Structure formats: C-alpha cells, structure tokens
Structure 1
Amino acid sequence: MINRWIAEATECDFKVALETKKPKSWLKSVSAFANGVGGTLFFGIRDDREIIGLEDVQADAEAISRLIKERITPFPDFILVPERENGKDLLVLTVSPGRATPYYYKADGVMEAYIRMGNESVIAPNYVLNQLLLKGMNRTYDALISEYDFKDYAFSKMREQYKTWTGNSMEDKLFESFEMRDTNGRLTNAGALLADQSPVRHSRLFCTRWNGLDKSGGMVDALDSAEYSGSLIILLNEGVGFVKRNMKTRWKKTANSRIEMPDYCERSVFEALVNALIHRDYTVLGSEVHIDIYDDRLTIHSPGGMADGTRIQERDISNVSSTRRNPVLADIFGRLGYMERKGSGFKKITETYYAAHNYRDELEPKFYSDASSFQVTLYNLNYGTSVSAAKVTIEDENIAITSDHVAIEVAIGKLNATQATIDKAKAVFANMGIDGVFGRSDVAAITNDSVTAAGNLINKLKNAELIEPVSGFGKGKYKFVAPKE
C-alpha cells in the first residue's frame, strides 16, 4: 500500500518521526510543495524507505495540523491520512499545489518561502519569489504594464511579419487586443519586448561558435560570436541566421533529386529558439538566452526552468502539456505564425531530427531543466561520420559542401512570404538544387499545387533574384542562383 503512495507522489520527503521542537525541518517542505507542484511527506519512514512506524499516530496527526495552521501562511490545502503497514502506524501528508503563492514558513519574526531544488527544500531566490507573487495575483510578467509609452517606439519588424503571415496591415488598435499596450498608451512588458529597439536590456541573445568540443579555450578561440538586442522577432531571426552561418549542408545529388544532409535541422533550431525566447523567465535579471555551437553539438540555454516546476528530463517529451510562463507572448507568436498554441514544440524538435536523412539514435535531441534554467542540446548530424555512415554511399556520386547552397537556403528563409510559401520554395530547392532546371509543371508536382500557384511561387523567387531563366530547355525554364552580395 505504501509503495503505491510513494509511486504516485509528485515529490516526496521521508521523516522517521515528527519533529515538534524543530518543526521547520519538515514544514519547509510543506511550504515548498505548496509553492510548487505539490508533494507528500511520509512520517514513520526513513530516507532509505525502511518503515519504522510512529508511537502515537493520533497525537502526531493533531500536532501536524496545528503546526501547519500556526506556521504556514497562507493556509495550504492538504490531506493527512493514517496508514498501517506491516503492523506499524504511519502518517501520509499530501500537500496540494497552491494558487495563493507564495506560501511562507513563519517563526521567530522571520518569513521564508521555500521551493524544491532536486530532493531538497531551499529558500526561494528573489527571482523565484517574484514569480510566486505574480502567480498568487494571477498575473504574468508579460501582461504587466511597463514604464514605456507606445508612441516612443517602432514595431516595424512585427508589422512586417504580421503582413507576411496574414496579408493584412497591422493597425494600431490591434496592439490593445494583442495586450501589448493599455488604453492609456503604456506598453505592457510584452509590448516592450517586441519593440524594434526593445528597452528590456536583459532580453538580449548571445551567440558563440566555439573552436572544439568545449569552452576551454575561452573567447580567444571562438570562431564567431555575436550579441543581439531589440525585438524578440529580431532575436529569433538573427539567432537562426547565426546557426545557419556556422553550419554546413552536405548533399547528395541523384538523377532526379537532391538529398539534403545539414549539420542541424533548421526547424528544430527554430522551434528550440522560439521556446527559449517565449518561455524564458524575464524576471531573472542579468541573464540572457545563449546559443553555443561546438564541433559536435549546439546548445540553447534560457533562464528559468519549466513553468510548472517539473523537470523536463523526467517527462515524456511526446506528451508534455503546454504550461505557458508568458501567455501573452505565446499568443502573439501564435498570431504571427511563429508557433502553434497547443504546445507541440518539443515534439517538433525531436520528430524533425528523426526524419533527417543522416539521423542516428545517439543523436536524439536532449532536454534538461532545473529550477533556474532550461537547455536544449541538438547534435551535429554530420560530426564524426563519413558520408557512407550517414545512409549514403559516395561511389560515382557528387557529394559537396557549398557556400552557394547555404546562401540560397538562407535567402529563401528570408523571403517576404508566408511560412507555407517559404516551405514550398525550400522543397523545390531541395529537389532541384543549384543545377536542376525546372518550370511551372515541375514546381506544381513538387508542391502539390496548381500550375497557377506554381507560377506565383516562381515569380516570388524571380523577384527575390534567387532563380534565373535558362535557355535550351524550352520556354519558361529556370534554375537557382546564389543571391547577389
């Protein structure tokens, strides 16, 4: 019976006996459980789970209820249940996650809020206490009104993306419905984070391409580094661009198509960076989102752990429910076409990797979180392998790494078009490569569109100077060309 209790506990602590003279030893866990995802205290059991039992379970139960009422504020929801195991009496105290956070332990004129860190209950750092205060007020950081006025800032990047995604101009009245400003013209924190020249300095993005497998050489040995500031949209675009600039794409040309073998899956990088920018904890000052690229992997690190207090490495990635720390930002990015609102980012990151031509089981993306940070690790799909190990052979095949190829991919990603159109353009390029010659019927076959829609896509590529007409293959034939400097 007791094993079932332990197995079902979200978090748990074990106490051999009830400490009444030093109740802080267990009341701090009550505070931590109420401030987090809940948890269970087992009285009469040692840490090694050996059942010792309690001498007077009725008196202990009364003392537990009394001490919680006297020393935890506000009063948390809990259930106290007596159990009997192997002829020994136990008490099981289950504390529910609270809504009126923070829950403090108070004694001797001191009030302390606790959180769980690993298997311990520790005093909540100031930034976590700020989160708990917001949660208790049913508010989020991104919805708070800032000190900045809407009239003092431009939103060209946001307006541009809104136009691209919806086909409509973004009128000023939408800034209120998007919860980016109030009726007095003051920006919310979400609005401040999306301004072209964002005044929220700690929303910067640091990117570094290290020389080797770690940082042991310091910045002197960094091959490339950049620091970006401004709108979250700028950070997203620049971050993805930095990764593209520092990776190579290996490809195999076949008779009718071209097989792409990039170092990293662009979609996975995009999803991981969106997650880092939207779900990071902006109450943590002096800490930014970091992209670190090594020879064999890249990591994207963001301040703040999982919003629900769980640890991602202990969760089923394919079934993680969406708990949004910054719901206003998440909603805006959904309206701009950057993310879905149902929380499928983790799944997309892994599934895109699984589908890569050069994927191997040991290259599965890794996710890690603790109370103060979140990190995604994406492995270099081409590191340490020959082309043959990446599911292709090189006999009589044209295998190459080309800067023109990467430049065209980057330029397609920056097309002034919807994401669906960009994806179709990428599909055409993936099939045709630099040397392939194609017309409207070829594009229609690749994209499963009408010939008219295929013609529209060709026109977009022509206007962007990414394709040029070729002769000798009939009328209306084109091939890709690298963008002009």
Structure 2
Amino acid sequence: MNPARDSALIDQLRAEAAETPWLEFKSNNTDPEMIGKRCSALANSARIEGRDMAYMVWGIEDESHAIIGTDFNPEAKKVGNQALSLWLANSLQPSIAFNFRTVVHPQGRVVLLEIPAATGAPVAFNAVPYIRISSATPRLTDYPERYQQLIERLRPYRWEQGIARQYASGDEVLSLLDYSQYFRLTGQPLPDNRAGIFDKLEADRLIVRDVGERWNITHLGAILFAMRLNDFEASLARKAVRFVAYSGKNRASPVAHRLDGQRGYAVGFEGLIDYVNNLLPKNEHIGAALRADRPLFPSIAVRELVANALIHQDMTITGAGPQIELFEDRLEISNPGATLVLPDRMIDLPPRSRNEALASLMRRMRMCEEQGSGLDKVVQACEVFQLPAPLFRTEGDATQAVLYGPRSFAEMTQDERMRACYFHAVLKFLSGDKMKNASLCVRLGIATKNAAQATAVINRTLDAGLIRVADPDHPRAGYVPHWA
C-alpha cells in the first residue's frame, strides 16, 4: 500500500465529527472477540450507509481524535496457537478481504483495519451477524428493520467498480485515460477546465474520489479508456483483445497476422474492427452493373459479436481475455465465462450481462446494438449473405461464436442444416411470421424442384425438438421454434 495515502486516509477519518456506523477508534483494546464482532458490525453497517469500506483504527483517542499511538502489533497477535488474521478469517462468514496495516503517521504509530462492506450476504462472526448502533454492537437479528434494510442494499460484486489504480493524482488520471475520446464517443462537449473533466468522469464511475484530493481509477474506466492497459495491473492488462489470423483451417497452420491490443476497449474498438475487416477475405459480388468485392463475413455480424465478447465476458476469470481467430474458412470469437443464457436461446431472450455498467456505456457510445437486437442482426446478416448459420456454444469456462464462410447446401453437415433451419424459424417467428418449406428453400439455396431436401431438413429438425408445427390441426400453417 501507499504510505502517503494511508497517512492521508488517517487524517480524513480523524476529521469525522464523531465515530460513525462504519468507523471506530481504539486506544489499545485488542481483544480478539471484540475485533471479530466489530468486523461483522462495521461491514454490515457500511453497506447500509452506502460505503464500500469500514475502518477500525488503533492509536487514536475516541473523544478528541488525537493520535496517541499504539503498541498493537496485529502480525504478532495470537489467538491460541493461531495468528490473529487467520483466526479472524476463519471466524467470519462469508469470508471478507480485511486488511491490517501499520501506519507511521507524522504524529505517531497507528494501526488501521480496513474492512470491506458486506456484499452477497450479512457478515457474521461465529455464525452471528452484528450491527453498529451508536457505540453498541448488538445482534443484527434483534433489529429486524436494520436487517431488512441491509438485505435490500446487499448486491453482488461488480467487477467494474473495483479499483485499477489507487491514489492517482489529477495529472496521472489525465495521462492514463484517453479522456478526450470519452467525450467524443459519448457526444459530450469537452469542458474547458480540469474540474469539469473530472466531474464527468466521476459521474460515469470511471473514477472515484480517494483521499487527499486524489482519485481512484475504476476497472470500468481503465478497461474502456486506458491509453495503455499495460500501465495497470497485470490481471487487467490480460483482458486486452487478442487477434490471430492463420493461413489454414486450424491452429497448427502458420500465423499470418497477430495483434495484441494495448488500448482500452472503447478507444481501440473502431481501430480493431477496421483491422479485422481489412484482413477478411473478399468475395466478388456482381451488382446491377458493376462487380464489387465485399467481405466474406458481414461487417455488422463481426462488429456485434466482438462487442458481445467484450461486454459479456466474466471479468473475474484471471489470465484470459477476448480472442478473435481468423481461419481460412471461419471466424471464431471467444470470451472468458460461460453464457448466462442457453446458447440456442441467445437470439430471442434478452441478454444477461455480468457487466451492466460496461454494457450500458458501450451502448451509449453506439458500439453495439440496442439491448436484445444484436444477435438477431448477426443471424439475419448470415441469411442475407447466404452463409451457414452461426454457431454459439459454451465450452468449459468460455463462450464462443463462430461465423462460417460460404458453403453450398451439399457441403453443409446435417447439424449445420438443422441449425440454419432452427434460426430461420426463430427469425420468422420474431417478425410475426412462420417458417415454411418454401422460405427454407430460399434460405438454404435449394431449387424449388428439390424442395424435398428442405422437407427432409425440417423433419430432422422436428425430430431434434428444435422446432414444432405451428398448428397441429393445419400442418401447412408452418413451423415455429420449440419454445414458441
């Protein structure tokens, strides 16, 4: 930790008018049971008060807040044969990342215990949750109104709110984040003074106030607007997008192009999409009068799938980030984390994201489609380009989307034909229509005289349980997805 920040934090805590539900001063009382109960009470109270952190400080007089010093040494303190920190960690449920720090303040030695606010559930000490009321530490269950208030304020951990850089000066914030791009992408005028810039960055939770006129850069701010992700912690730098183009159909083929992203997602997005699209193979398309080259894969599909990989990844999986791989016959886009929606329902169900703030801001910046419409457009574009249906799948702790290059009906596998049939039925249903043999012939490029081939695909898709007859009393009425 930063010694200067710790001293500034001590001064800020001392400036409080009195002890609060999330702050307590001690002289030299180091009773382990007392510390355990206070950890529970302060963590729970901090969440009710809307604080992310609670504190106990030894070596400060309760009434005057004067520094009197302490000889408390948490590292040497034992409870039975166990170190205090280990005993405390085992006694608190659920486990919280508390932190003892010795601070050599100019006015004397103090010990700081930093306690994260409760997140998923009330924090209990030896199976009993406590709460802070004035100077008392009663059981939380004795105050049902406080218990209900705490339950309403508990929230799951949000990676975006974590701290990527702590105790940064204003100059450091402006050098680490591409703030001019933030204003351009969000359509806001650039303020003519630093205070205005910081106010806007703070409003979108890209930065939060720290102590001593300093700032914390959040994970959200860094992952979106970092000038260089390598300027932050290694776990964040590994979230950079990686692109690899192979000269064959598998990963054993020679690497033709490689790009390891360095910039934040927002400031590097357009450049990344342009880079990928420029490397995609081109097909000659004959229009009304002219021949023109168009990308092998629809640009809107590439853009939307890359944005989805950025937005929906599980940021808590370390050592992994989004990856784009271009092969001779397909494009694979993957991200860490299993999808929160079943792969065959990703096109029709509203998306569920682990990173709501990230998703919201990227939509504001028009980097992806409005909520719920993106994958519809991916599948629709593949139909327009007469490509095989895209594949969405979860493998272990990763989600993958695959776009395939052109293949004739004869070249498609049975699974690819059924997937195209299912997605065609979904698109028809979402537009208020029903899939029929004739429409599937058009989708799969089957000549009318060979309509029996489409019928065979429909029958296999029916047997697989992916579609059903829309009206059993009128079989010619068409087909709808199995969930409709």
With normalisation by structure 2, the TM-score equals 0.46
Instruction: Please give the TM-score of this superposition, normalised by the length of structure 1.
Output: 0.46
